Structure formats: C-alpha cells, structure tokens
Structure 1
Amino acid sequence: MDCYVYYRVSPQHAKAAHQAVMQLFALAAARFGVVGRIQSRADASANEVASAAADPGANDAPGMQTWMERYDDVGPAFVTALPELVAEAGLASLVDGERHVECFVDLPPPLPPCA
C-alpha cells in the first residue's frame, strides 16, 4: 500500500515544518523501515494566490504551501502509528488545518481475453 499525506504550511512555519518532517522520516525509518518523501505543490503560487483573491475569507492566504508526504509499500501498522509519529516529531502544531491521509493499493493486472 502507498500512502500520500497532504496538508497546508504557512510561510512562517515552513522552515520548522521541514525540520519536523525530517524528524518524522527519521522516526518512520527507525521504527518501521519506511522511507518517506516530501514534496510541495508545483503550481502553488498561481493557484494559491488566485484562490485567496477569489475567497479572501478562505484559509488559502498567499504564500501558503501545500505539502505532500509520500510513503511507498507500507503496512497498516505504519498508517495507524503515523499520527503518533507526527505528534512526536512536532509537526502537528506546524500544519495549518488538517493532515489528509489517503492510501492506495495496486490493481491486479487485467485477465487475458478468453480465446
């Protein structure tokens, strides 16, 4: 199973959040043998500025970043433990809003056509 976790980070918390993610990855590796990747939304500046202009009351202030953690080939125990690891790494308090966790499994290959 592959898990993707996305969330928002404000510019003032970006440096501390990045350090916390590195601590999270160290905990994940030490306890579960899981390697994580961190990414940020590629089209962040255009979309987020437009979104803030369209709805000034929204939680999408200019400069807000969308980050994505990616964990490949993990088990259910890792997914269950992830919130605790996030809290232990100090990341939970640096995220603006909720962390959204989505996990996916590979589909089996299609069956060959009948002869």
Structure 2
Amino acid sequence: MKDLYIYYQVKDEHAQALEARVRALQARLAEQSGVAPQLKRRPDSKDGLQTWMEIYPVVGEGFADVLAAATEETGLLALTHGQRHTEAFMDLPPCA
C-alpha cells in the first residue's frame, strides 16, 4: 500500500470551478474504493496562481490508473495550469 500526493497549480479565477470538480471526483473515488482523500492548497497565491495538493492515502495497486482516468473524464486538466505531478510514498516498517 502507498499514499499518492498530486500537486499542481491553478489560476485564481479557476479555483472555485476546479474545487467543485475535485471534490466531486474525490467523493466518487471514496465511494468506489473506500479511500479517504484530502484536498489542500498553499495559503498564499503567487502571480495569480495557487498550488493545490490532492492526497490519496493507503491506495492499492491500480488506483493511480483509476485516478488518471477519472481526472481525464471530469475535465480537471482544463482548469489546471501546467502539469499535475504525482508522487508516491510508502510507510516504513516500525523498528523492532
């Protein structure tokens, strides 16, 4: 199992529309897969751009493909500025 972190930028004027789409996408994914997604953004805006992060904790194999397809389907890319960057992290086992 791993956690996915997706970060990207959005223009200030697209933020409200993008938030509605991301929240709908995350609700659908939570219902379908049981994942508990989070949506975050940096508190400041720079040059009219906000930096956002979607977090999908404890996802299984194949979830990244499901997320990519759902992202395309909901038209999120039309409201983002530049690329979406995906990072995957896994938990380290506890010390014995």
Superposed pair shares fold, TM > 0.5: yes
Any conservation in 2 of the 1:41–1:67 contact (CA below 8 Å)? yes
Structure with higher Rg: it is: 1
User: What residue is the counterpart of 1:29 in the other structure?
Assistant: 30
1:70 to 2:70 alignment: no
Structure 1 counterpart of 2:94: 109
Instruction: Look up the SS of the partner of 1:13 in the other structure.
Output: helix
1:99 partner letter = R
**Matches of 1:33 and 1:98, distance apart in 2:** 27
The reply on whether 1:5 has 2:6 as its aligned counterpart is yes
Identity of aligned residues (%): 42
More helix by percentage: 1
The unaligned stretches of length 5 or more in structure 2 are none
What is the distance in 2 between the residues matched to 1:99 and 1:20? 15
Query: For structure 1, which runs of at least 5 residues remain unmatched after alignment?
Result: 49-61
Number of residue pairs matched? 95
* Cα RMSD (Å): 1.3
Distance 2:62 2:31 in 1: 14
Residue aligning to 1:41 = 42
Contact 1:27 1:85 (8 Å CA) reproduced:
no
User: TM-score scaled by structure 2?
Assistant: 0.89
Aligned partners of 2:31, 2:76: CA distance in 1, in Å?
Answer: 17
